[in-house]
Amino acid sequence: MKVVQGIFLFLFPSLDLPEMEKVPLLRVSPQGFPRLPDWRSSRFLPEDPSWLDRGGKFFKEGMTAYYTERPLEALKHFRQVLESYPETPWFVPSLFWSGQLLVLDGKYDLALWGA
């Protein structure tokens, strides 16, 4: 090492350590997503919307399709609400139920970003 006072030689000992196996500190087993406790509760089914409420009509059709085991059709109705009626009170429930349907289908990234 060169400094103002002169040049000094530093010797660093080399350590010859044995190769160590990497050990994980934490192991997490993959977990599935449980269904919601009230998944089939009729309280999620809205009253009949007025004939002017197109967003409510699509949401109710989506819930009906879900209850009758037609998830793709339900997702189509929920997406219709999300795309065409974002200002209605049906937007947030449609986002929630479409996310649930996507998670059950294993499409976690789409469910996370609300696609």
- Indicate whether 38 pLDDT > 80: no
The answer to whether residues 79 and 66 touch, using CB atoms and an 8 Å cutoff, is: no
Rounded CA separation 102/96 (Å)? 10
Q: How confident is the model at residue 61 (pLDDT cuts 50, 70, 90)?
A: very high
Distances (CA, A) of 62 to 6, 32, 70, 72, 90: 83, 25, 9, 9, 11
Rounded CA separation 56/22 (Å)? 56
Mean pLDDT value of segment 29-42: 63
Which amino acid, residue 38?
D
81 phi, psi to nearest 5 deg: -65, -45
Q: What is the pLDDT of residues 68-86, one digit of tens each?
A: 889 999 999 999 999 999 9
Can you give the residue ranges of every domain in the chain? Answer: 55-90
Which pTM was predicted? 0.62
The mean predicted confidence, pLDDT, of the chain is 81
